[in-house]
């Protein structure tokens, strides 16, 4: 099969969150199965020079946006069996940021979507399936169906759209989007592009894609309800027959405690002794009191409300009354930067917080901590809890989305489970579960080791999910019947 991915970020070139991990890991897995997989992302100024030097210029052309014409270059790099294309526009992507600040996001990503489609005949690639990811690629399925499908070159192409996070939709003024993408008045009704008086790139994709996926079965269910649906639940319910939840995998080579170059000592499920050295090294690196017996709780992730940090805010005083250390790595809202900066100075030697993007430190935290806390308000899939488990760090999570699908709370009667969970979005429920985890850590070491082992033995490879995506691609191409979304 010929498959094109379009996305706004992708490891190892540029990453702000889990989307980049997913695109960067899934594409090579599909390629290894013999598919012709190509990926298009913007050529941001952030992409390291070492990659830019390896790129080869393929073609350039002009893209019409309203009355303007903009240069677009297509650069390419081949690696891991995948052809990676970079959409080059210094005007839109040669900036000091990846998302956000220019106020012209509709135009930047409108340009990106249009360029991806326009480039295809010029680079001589006619995909069977275009797999677009998140709102930045949302206009790819919409433009394909509205403006390109009548052209013989595009006529048979199918479009799949994956929701990595429904909260970010790309909402803009209708006039601006109409101007840039040339979408006539008749398209702006609420069964097509209009969405509560605005243009919405995510909604456009949800209407026009042949099939929709999201990154866990639970999130696929949840987003059909008003609480999690971010005002698109009605549309998602209407499309539920084409809405699938496919759980993400991990890059198990990158995240492997047995071979990880970032951590102080290697370890594996057969011999976990190196983890103690990782813990000591982490305490030393972050200026924490060196103590083998105090449990360290780690948190790595965007400092946003989604991640449930207000719950931590409520109980941080109570939590720090216990014998525990807390390590936080993340970037985001100033409210939480202030909270954890304050906590670091208030509880010297017991709390450490770093507000940078540092993947080496992230690895050392996953390896050096005993517990990993992720009390998310909602969580489409979540990679961090899976990474933590792979490093023998026991997850404490809220039962939502992908967290619910990957972490099963320890049951003292049956012995089942691989972590600790709570259901209600409530700070004291969370504190109670942290205390429960601490009890097993302090008093029942054998249970603790069983939980660590189960986490480390878990299957986080992409194999099962990649097989599911292939099934869906073949299904929309009519080669096989599509599976029932309700059955995983
Ligand atoms: P989301 O996609 O919502 O941000 P995920 O858990 O799916 O959350 O993925 C987050 C990924 O980004 C994980 O691989 C995590 O380790 C990484 N990450 C998040 N913040 C940082 C940071 N400040 N430094 C290094 N890695 C980070």
Give dist(CA 457, CA 418) in Å, integer. Answer: 10
DSSP letter at 481 equals P
483 is a domain residue: no
Q: How much distance in Å is there from the Cα of 211 to the middle of ligand 1?
A: 27
Q: Is 331 in the pocket of ligand 1 (CB under 6 A)?
A: yes
486 is a domain residue: no
28 is a domain residue: yes
pLDDT in tens, the chain (488 residues): 999 999 999 999 999 888 999 999 999 999 999 999 999 999 999 999 999 999 999 999 999 998 899 999 999 999 999 999 999 999 999 999 999 876 899 999 999 999 999 999 999 999 999 999 999 999 999 999 999 999 999 999 999 999 999 999 999 999 999 999 999 999 999 999 999 999 999 999 999 999 999 999 999 999 999 999 999 999 999 999 999 999 999 999 999 999 999 999 999 999 999 999 999 999 999 999 999 999 999 999 999 999 999 999 999 999 999 999 999 999 999 999 999 999 999 999 999 999 999 999 999 999 999 999 999 999 999 999 999 999 999 999 999 999 999 999 999 999 999 999 999 999 999 999 999 999 999 999 999 999 999 999 999 999 999 999 999 999 999 999 999 997 76
Query: Both 199 and 283 in a single domain?
Result: no
CATH number at residue 62: 3.40.50.2000
Q: How much distance in Å is there from the Cα of 300 to the middle of ligand 1?
A: 6
Query: Both 7 and 21 in a single domain?
Result: yes
Residue 17, phi then psi, degrees to nearest 5: -165, -165
Q: Is 380 in the pocket of ligand 1 (CB under 6 A)?
A: no
Give dist(CA 329, CA 262) in Å, integer. Answer: 16
138 in Cβ contact with 167 (< 8 Å): no
Query: Angle, nearest 10°, between helix axes 309-320 and 427-443?
Result: 50
Residue 171, phi then psi, degrees to nearest 5: -105, 125
Q: Is 486 in the pocket of ligand 1 (CB under 6 A)?
A: no
Q: Is 231 in the pocket of ligand 1 (CB under 6 A)?
A: no
Give dist(CA 308, CA 275) in Å, integer. Answer: 28
Q: Is 21 in the pocket of ligand 1 (CB under 6 A)?
A: yes
Which protein residue has the closest C-alpha to ligand 1 atom 26? Answer: 359
482 is a domain residue: no
- The count of domains in the chain is 2
347 in Cβ contact with 272 (< 8 Å): no
Place of tokens 């309800």: 225
111 is a domain residue: yes
Which ligand 1 atom is at minimum distance from the Cα of 374? 6
Query: Both 208 and 321 in a single domain?
Result: no
120 is a domain residue: yes
pTM for the full model?
A: 0.96
Query: Both 468 and 430 in a single domain?
Result: no
262 is a domain residue: no
Query: Both 222 and 353 in a single domain?
Result: no
Give dist(CA 326, CA 373) in Å, integer. Answer: 10
Query: Angle, nearest 10°, between helix axes 427-443 and 445-457?
Result: 110
Query: Both 241 and 278 in a single domain?
Result: no
- Cα→Cα distances 475→130, 371, 472, Å: 14, 41, 5
Query: Both 222 and 177 in a single domain?
Result: yes
Query: Both 309 and 217 in a single domain?
Result: no
Query: Both 85 and 160 in a single domain?
Result: yes
352 in Cβ contact with 344 (< 8 Å): yes
Q: How much distance in Å is there from the Cα of 61 to the middle of ligand 1?
A: 35
Query: Both 428 and 337 in a single domain?
Result: yes
Q: For residue 93, give its domain range.
A: 2-249+462-476
Query: Both 197 and 293 in a single domain?
Result: no
230 is a domain residue: yes
Query: Both 125 and 206 in a single domain?
Result: yes
Which residues are CB-neighbours of 455 under 8 A, at least 6 positions away? 388, 389, 390, 392, 393, 394, 395, 418, 419
């Amino acid at each position: 099969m010929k498959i094109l991915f379009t996305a706004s970020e992708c490891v190892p070139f540029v990453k702000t969150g889990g989307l980049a991990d997913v695109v960067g890991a899934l594409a090579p897995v599909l390629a290894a199965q013999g598919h012709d997989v190509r990926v298009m992302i913007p050529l941001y100024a952030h992409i390291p020079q070492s990659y830019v030097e390896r790129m080869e210029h393929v073609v350039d052309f002009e893209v019409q946006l309203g009355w303007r014409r903009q240069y677009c270059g297509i650069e390419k790099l081949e690696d891991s069996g995948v052809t990676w294309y970079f959409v080059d526009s210094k005007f839109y992507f040669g900036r000091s940021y990846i998302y956000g600040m220019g106020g012209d996001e509709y135009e930047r990503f409108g340009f990106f979507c249009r360029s991806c489609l326009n480039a295809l005949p010029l680079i001589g690639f006619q995909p069977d399936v275009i797999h677009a990811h998140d709102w930045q690629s949302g206009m790819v399925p919409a433009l394909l169906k509205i403006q390109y499908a009548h052209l013989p070159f595009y006529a048979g192409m199918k479009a799949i759209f994956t929701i990595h996070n429904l909260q970010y939709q790309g909402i803009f003024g209708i006039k601006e989007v109409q101007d840039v993408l040339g979408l006539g008045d008749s398209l702006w009704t609420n069964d097509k592009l209009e969405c509560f008086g605005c243009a919405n790139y995510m909604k456009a994709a949800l209407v026009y894609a042949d099939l929709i996926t999201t990154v866990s079965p639970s999130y696929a269910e949840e987003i059909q309800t008003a609480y999690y649906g971010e005002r698109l639940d009605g549309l998602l319910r209407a499309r539920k027959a084409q809405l699938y939840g496919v759980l993400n995998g991990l890059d198990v080579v990158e995240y492997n405690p047995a071979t990880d170059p970032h951590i102080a000592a290697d370890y594996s499920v057969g011999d976990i002794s190196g983890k103690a050295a990782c813990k000591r090294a982490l305490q030393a690196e972050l200026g924490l009191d060196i103590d083998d017996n105090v449990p360290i709780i780690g948190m790595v992730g965007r400092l946003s409300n989604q991640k449930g940090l207000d719950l931590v805010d409520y109980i941080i005083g109570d939590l720090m009354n216990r014998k525990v250390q807390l390590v936080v790595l993340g970037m985001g809202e100033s409210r939480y930067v202030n909270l954890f900066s304050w906590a670091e100075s208030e509880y010297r030697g017991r709390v450490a917080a770093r507000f940078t993007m540092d993947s080496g430190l992230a690895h050392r935290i996953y390896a050096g901590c005993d517990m990993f806390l992720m009390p998310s308000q909602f969580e489409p899939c979540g990679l961090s809890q899976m990474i933590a488990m792979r490093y023998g760090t026991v997850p404490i999570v809220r039962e939502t989305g992908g967290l619910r699908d990957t972490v099963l709370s320890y049951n003292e009667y049956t012995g089942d489970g691989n972590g600790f969970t709570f259901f209600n979005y409530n700070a004291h429920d969370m504190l109670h579960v942290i205390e429960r985890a601490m009890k097993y850590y302090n008093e029942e070491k054998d249970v603790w080791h069983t939980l660590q082992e189960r986490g480390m033995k878990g299957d986080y490879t992409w194999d099962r999910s990649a097989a599911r995506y292939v099934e869906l691609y073949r299904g929309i191409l009519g080669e096989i019947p599509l599976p029932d979304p309700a059955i995983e």
